[in-house]
Amino acid sequence: MERTESLSCSWLLVDASKELTRKSTLPSETIHTLMTYLSDSLHLVAIRLHQPAVRENSTQVTYELLNDNIPRRLNQVITFPADFVKSMRPGGDRDYLIYDSESDVNPVQGEINVGYVSIFLRHVEEGEFLGLLELVFKDENRYPSERDISVLQALKELLFEQVAVFEKKRRGTGDVEDDEVLDYLSGLHRYESFVEKIDRIIPDVVDENHGIVILCTDINHFKLVNENMGYKKGDELLRLSGQMAASIENLIDACRYYSDNFIMAIRVENPDDDRIRARVEGENQRNAASLQKVVGDSQIRFNSGVYIIRNPKMDAASAISYANTARKQAKVFKGVHCVVFTEKMIEELRRSEQLNNELPNAIKNRNLKVFYQPKISCENERLIGAEALIRWQRDDGSFIYPDQFIPEFESNGNIIQLDYFVYDEVFRFIRNRLDRGLLVVPISMNVSRRHLENEDILFYIDHLFNKYDVPAEFIEFELTENIYIDNIEPALHFITRCNHRGIKVSMDDFGSGYSSLNMISEIPIDVLKIDGVFMHRGKTLNHNDKVVLNNVIRLGKDLKMIVLCEGVETREQVDFLKEAGCDIIQGYFFGKPMPESDFTEFMSKDA
Ligand code: C2E
Ligand code: CA
Ligand code: CA
């Protein structure tokens, strides 16, 4: 095959050295930066750093970056053919080798990767073999020239220089600047050493006039940012967030807990909840604004939870878990970016714990009630279906609403039991009406994300179809928009199975979160449920709302979906939606969620 020489990579060296001088942070981070840089610029399939291994004819891969851009520190030992090693040893005949899968056997991958070219660059210092840099690229009929090789050699020198610095640090002083203690990507402490340090410091810092703020922060829908903007941008975001965390005033220490979760410990004088919340909110907004520039038009938002250590006997792990509880609350409340943990939350935690314990009894004693909210056809304003929504009735007759227990049940898995109860009730209700020859409309049921962790739900649904013998046309499931983001594969599996059975599936809460438009075109859903937030609790729709709604409805229609609008509270909204081409309306205007008996009555009026 004809090959064009040259990867044209001479400019790489200049840029890489610039990159190096710009950020002279941790050696491990520099190694990562350089490798990412090479990988991106040369469109590499893989880049690996090999270091000498004890075993004969072997090297140890210590760093690897595949084209998913996730750095891995490995200790994988690779054994090469003896002649390969011999030729690469000092005194061997060459200091680099090119393996072309078309004509050679790659010593690392074997023969499998046809269409790949690997370059091995040897690193030798003072007659000692110190390692190899392996670059794997997809052969697009380009081939490195001698000149390219000399550039790559120079880059390899830079890399191994950093490796030497890093190794020296590690072996030598036992400095805290060690990869064992430091997070590779952000340069911050790892969780364990962070907790250790804070535990040591609490009794010294905390007294009547001084506290420690434990601040847990994450990036809202980081996963989606990662997917939409690419892992490189995602990494950059994390690195910058790490830098921001490290530069907070009066910081004691910061760590990256996992993924996009950062924890900071800050010294404060006379801690005051409101003042601290305001400060965190302000800082989050400023930081988000400056990160915005990195990711372009994707919306960045931080969620923070705060716990203030006021007691010198407090331990760091508990403080972190309280701050984390508060952070989760910040995620739930729309528009709230920081929540300070309060005694009241301990009360709430206790209450939800109590509800958890009571759940089995509540099911047995029928304290859980399924309510039905009508869905109305835009065409003739007649009943066309309903959504099943759970309510918990206290002994005194009052109701506990789902927002008070569903989030907790989702996190501890109780939601599965609860949903199964709802599904059973709905099937029973439909069967009962069928038996009595009464009007039956399709009922939709909510599916928690927890169901997608295994296939139980599919078996349970089969079981209900067998038990009640209800036609599939009366059954519909709702999956919220966010489920698809986090669990696309299992969600697709679930939907496909429903499709086969003739059960409709809807995308719930569309537009409330970070809908990815390319996502909705790829998922075979039947119904697009536009979130109630667009209706602003019955307020008059302004021009912008109308533009957005018109377009979202058109999008759904173009994708051949049934479009439903939720949260509709006024006649004016109904008329607008009809005009815009919406198919179905659900909302207080036509009916609130109501007990089974009331819904039965509602249906009899419609029949
Ligand atoms: P959702 O699935 O988005 O349900 C719609 C929510 O909007 C319901 O709140 C409903 O009462 C409320 N709503 C309906 N029409 C209007 C309106 O015109 N104006 C306003 N302001 N609100 C309206 P609800 O019943 O409190 O449920 C809240 C959430 O809890 C549900 O949101 C759903 O995500 C979850 N949920 C409820 N029941 C279940 C269940 O059985 N299983 C699961 N997994 N989740 C459930
Ligand atoms: Ca729903
Ligand atoms: Ca909804």
- Model confidence at 146, pLDDT cuts 50, 70, 90, reads confident
pLDDT for 64: 75
- Model confidence at 563, pLDDT cuts 50, 70, 90, reads very high
Rounded (5°) CA angle 595-598-602: 130
pLDDT for 174: 41
Alpha-carbon span 322 to 335, nearest angstrom: 21
Q: Which ligand is nearest to the CA of 422?
A: 1
How far, in Å, from the CA of 446 to the mean position of ligand 2?
Answer: 5
- Model confidence at 112, pLDDT cuts 50, 70, 90, reads very low
pLDDT for 129: 82
pLDDT for 419: 96
How far, in Å, from the CA of 443 to the mean position of ligand 3?
Answer: 14
How far, in Å, from the CA of 359 to the mean position of ligand 2?
Answer: 21
Question: Is this model's pTM higher than 0.95 or not?
Answer: no
151 touches 9 (CB < 8 A): yes
- Model confidence at 12, pLDDT cuts 50, 70, 90, reads low
pLDDT for 73: 53
pLDDT for 238: 85
Give the tens place of pLDDT for each residue, 189-203. 777 788 888 999 999
Give the tens place of pLDDT for each residue, 279-319. 999 999 888 888 887 777 667 889 999 999 999 999 998 89
Give the tens place of pLDDT for each residue, 168-182. 665 554 443 444 555
Encoded tokens for 411: 């996190």
β-partners of residue 34 are none
| Mean pLDDT lowest among 460-464, 578-582, 602-606 | 602-606
| Mean pLDDT lowest among 172-176, 270-274, 547-551, 594-598 | 172-176
Average pLDDT on 495-501 reads 95
pLDDT for 473: 97
Q: Rg of the chain over CA atoms, in angstroms?
A: 30
β-partners of residue 393 are 399
pLDDT at 131 over 80: yes
How far, in Å, from the CA of 478 to the mean position of ligand 2?
Answer: 6
From residue 379, alpha-carbon distances to 173, 384, 557, 578 in Å are 77, 10, 15, 8
- Model confidence at 111, pLDDT cuts 50, 70, 90, reads very low
549 touches 541 (CB < 8 A): yes
pLDDT for 88: 74
pLDDT for 531: 93
Task: Tell me the residue type at 32.
Answer: H
- Residue with CA closest to ligand 1 atom 28: 402
- Model confidence at 102, pLDDT cuts 50, 70, 90, reads low
How far, in Å, from the CA of 388 to the mean position of ligand 1?
Answer: 9
Pick the more confident residue, 568 or 245. Answer: 568
Pocket test of ligand 1: the residue of 445, 534, 566 to mutate, having most ligand atoms within 8 Å of its CB, is: 566
How far, in Å, from the CA of 587 to the mean position of ligand 3?
Answer: 10
Atom of ligand 1 lying closest to residue 422 CA: 41
pLDDT for 385: 98
Atom of ligand 1 lying closest to residue 589 CA: 18
- Residue with CA closest to ligand 1 atom 19: 567
Pocket test of ligand 1: the residue of 332, 389, 533, 596 to mutate, having most ligand atoms within 8 Å of its CB, is: 389
pLDDT at 25 over 60: no
The number of beta carbons lying within 10 Å of the beta carbon of residue 358 is 14
Crossing angle between the packed helical segments 146-171 and 27-41, to the nearest 10 degrees? 160
| Mean pLDDT lowest among 138-152, 367-381, 577-591 | 138-152
39 touches 138 (CB < 8 A): no
Encoded tokens for 393: 């009735």
Average pLDDT value over all residues in the chain = 83
Alpha-carbon span 443 to 426, nearest angstrom: 7
The number of beta carbons lying within 10 Å of the beta carbon of residue 144 is 22
Task: Tell me the residue type at 318.
Answer: S
pLDDT at 422 over 60: yes
How far, in Å, from the CA of 455 to the mean position of ligand 1?
Answer: 25
Ligand 1 neighbours by CB, cut-off 6 Å:
373, 389-390, 401-403, 406, 415, 419, 422, 446, 448, 508-509, 532, 537, 566-569, 587-588, 593
Give the tens place of pLDDT for each residue, 356-413. 888 888 888 889 999 999 999 999 999 999 999 999 998 888 899 998 889 888 878 8
pLDDT at 214 over 90: yes
Pick the more confident residue, 456 or 454. Answer: 456
